[in-house]
Amino acid sequence: MFNTENDKFRRYTAFINRYSTYLLFLLYCSISVLFIKLQNRETLDAIRTGAIEFSSFLSEKVTDIGEIFNVQNENERLLAVNATLLSKIMKQDAEIADEKSRYKLVADTTINASRFIIAKVVGRKFSDRENMLIINVGNERGIKQNMTVFTPSGLVGRVVFVSEHYSKVMPLIHHEFKVIVESDKSNSMGILSWSGGREDIAEVEHIPISTSLKINERMLTSDFSTFSVRGIPVGRVISMKPDKLFYRVEVQLAVDYSTLSYVLIAPLKAEHEKTGLLKTSSVPSNENEIQ
Amino acid sequence: MIKDIPFLIVVFCIVLAIQIFGLSYAAVLNVTPDVTTIFLALVGVTISQRASASFGFIAGAILGIFSESSGMLIGWIMLAKTVEGFLAGYFNVPENSHATAKQKTKRIYIAIIFAGFASSAIIAAVYNPLGFPPAIGIAAFGLLKSALTLVLAFIINLLFLKKILLD
C-alpha cells in the first residue's frame, strides 16, 4: 500500500514536471479569466483608479523633467520679450517727457509763444569754455543766423549756424558771446559775458560806479542789442565789486543749461540799417561789444 | 547575459515603462508597436516557454492596470499577453542546439509575427480598436500591430539585440 501511494506521488510529480508549462499556462489563463469576470467589481475599479492616478503622476513628472530642459529657451524668449517691452516703455516715457516740456513752454502765460518757433535741443557740447547747442529746426522752418534763442526762464543764446534741418546755437555761456543788458529797476546798462568756470554765473561789465544798481536786481536784454528782442530775462545780480571806474557785477543766470530740452526762437530783428550804421561809424567800434 | 535574472528583470521594467509612457508617439492609426512582444519573443526563444508565459502574464497585468484607454480590459490583456508569451515559447531554441545568432534572430522575428498577431487578435476581438467589422478588424489590427512591432524589432536588433544574442 505504501508503495502504491509512493508510486502515485511519483506519477503526479512526473506529470506536473512534464506538463508544468501547460499547467502554468492554464493557471495564468484561469487567473486572467477570473479578472475578466471580476472586471466590473469595485476592488478592481479601485485598483484601476489608483493605477491611473499613479500613471498620471508619473506622466506629469516626466513632463516636468522635459520642461526643465526647456527652461533655458523659455528664459531667452522671455528676456527678448522683456527687452522689447522695455524699449517700448522707454520710448513712451521719453515721448511723455517731451510732450510735458513742450506743453510747459507753450502754456507759459508770461510770453506769447505763438509768434516764436519751438525747437528741441537735440545735441549739446559743454566744456570749460566751448559750449554749443544743436536744435532740431533749420532753414526749412525759417531759422536764420543771429536769431534769439530763449525759454520762459530766460535767454539761452543765439543762432550761429543754420543747416537744412538743424541749427547751431551759441549759448550765453560761451566765451565769445556778449549781449547788452539792462536792470529792470535802475535801468543800469552793461555788457554781459561769460568767462568760463561755473555755468550759472556770468559777468556784466561797463556798469559805472555811479549806478544805482542793487543786489538781487533782475537783468534783462536791452533794445540796444542787435540780435535780441528786448525784455528777455538774463539773470539776477548776486555781487557787485567796485573797480576804478566800473563795477564788476556777477549775475546768476536764469537758465539752467543742464535741464534744457525745448527752446523758443524769436524772429530776427529787422535792424540791418542800424547794424550798417554801426559798422560804417567814424568811431571804430568793437562789433562783439555791441551785440 | 540574457539569462541573468536581475538583468532580465531590469530590462523587463524598462520595457514596460517604455510601453506605458513612451510609445504613444509612434502610433499609426492609433495602433502602437508593442515592445513587450519583442521582449517576450526574446525570452521565449532564448530561455523557455515557461519563462515567456510568466513574463507575459505579469506584463499583461501591469499593462492592463496602467492602460487608461483599455482599463476595463485588464483580464483580457493578461490573457492576451499570457497567450503571446506561451506562443513565443514554441519558437524556443534549446541551449545545446548551437544555433547561430542569425538563426535566433530569425526565430525571434517569426515569434513576434505569430505571437504578436495572436495577442492582438484577442484584444481586437474584445474592443475592436479600428472600428472595422469584427473579422476585418481582427485581421487589420493584428497585421498592423505585428508590422509595427516588427519594424521596431529591426531597429532594436540593429541597436542592441545582436550584441545580446552574441553574448
**B40: Cβ–Cβ under 8 A, 6 or more apart, which residues?**
B52, B55, B56, B59, B81, B84, B85, B88, B111, B115
Tell me the C-alpha distance between B145 and B130, whole Å: 11
pLDDT digits (tens, 9 = 90+) for B56-104: 999 988 888 776 554 557 788 888 999 999 998 888 888 777 777 778 8
CB contact under 8 A, B82 and A52: no
Residue A287 is predicted with a pLDDT of: 45
Tell me the C-alpha distance between A95 and A100, whole Å: 9
Give the pLDDT band (50/70/90) at residue A122: confident
Question: How big is chain B by its Cα radius of gyration, in Å?
Answer: 15
Q: Which residues of A touch B65 (CB under 8 A)?
A: 47-48, 51
- The average confidence (pLDDT) of chain B is 81
Task: Answer whether B36's CB lies under 8 Å from B81's CB.
Answer: yes
Residue B69 is predicted with a pLDDT of: 52
Question: Which residue type, as a one-letter code, is found at position A221?
Answer: T
Task: Answer whether B48's CB lies under 8 Å from B92's CB.
Answer: yes
CB contact under 8 A, A52 and B71: yes
Chain B closest CA to A52's CA: distance in Å? 6
Residue A51 is predicted with a pLDDT of: 72
Residue B70 is predicted with a pLDDT of: 47
- Name the nearest CA neighbour of B126 among B80, B60, B68, B88: B80
CB contact under 8 A, B60 and A62: no
Question: Which residue type, as a one-letter code, is found at position A139?
Answer: N
Question: Which residue type, as a one-letter code, is found at position B42?
Answer: L
Tell me the C-alpha distance between A189 and A181, whole Å: 6
Cα of A289 vs its chain's centroid, Å: 40
DSSP A157: E
Cell of B167: 553574448
CB contact under 8 A, B75 and A47: no
Q: What is the pTM of this model?
A: 0.46
pLDDT digits (tens, 9 = 90+) for A163-173: 888 989 999 98
Assembly ipTM = 0.81
Give the pLDDT band (50/70/90) at residue A72: confident
Tell me the C-alpha distance between B64 and A201, whole Å: 92
Its CATH architecture, for the domain A118-269, is Beta Barrel (2.40)
**B80: Cβ–Cβ under 8 A, 6 or more apart, which residues?**
B60, B118, B119, B120, B122, B123
Summarize the confidence of residues A149-161 as an average pLDDT.
89
- The average confidence (pLDDT) of chain A is 79
Give the CA-trace dihedral at A88, A91, A92, A96, to 10 degrees. 170
**Pick from B21, B53, B68: CB nearest A52:** B68
CB contact under 8 A, B82 and A32: yes
Give the pLDDT band (50/70/90) at residue A238: very high
Chain B closest CA to A16's CA: distance in Å? 13
Summarize the confidence of residues A17-44 as an average pLDDT.
80
Summarize the confidence of residues A90-96 as an average pLDDT.
81
A135-168 in b/e burial notation, b at 16+ Cβ within 10 A? Answer: bebbeebebeebbbbbbbbbbbbbbbebeeebbb
Tell me the C-alpha distance between B72 and B77, whole Å: 10
Summarize the confidence of residues A195-217 as an average pLDDT.
85
Does residue A261 surpass a pLDDT of 70? yes
* Inter-CA distances, A29 with A135, B64, B85, Å: 95, 14, 12
Q: The cell 505571437 sits on which residue? A: B115
DSSP A206: E
SS3 A78: helix
Summarize the confidence of residues A12-37 as an average pLDDT.
84
Q: Which residues of B touch A29 (CB under 8 A)?
A: 79, 82-83
Chain A closest CA to B53's CA: distance in Å? 7
Does residue A2 surpass a pLDDT of 90? no
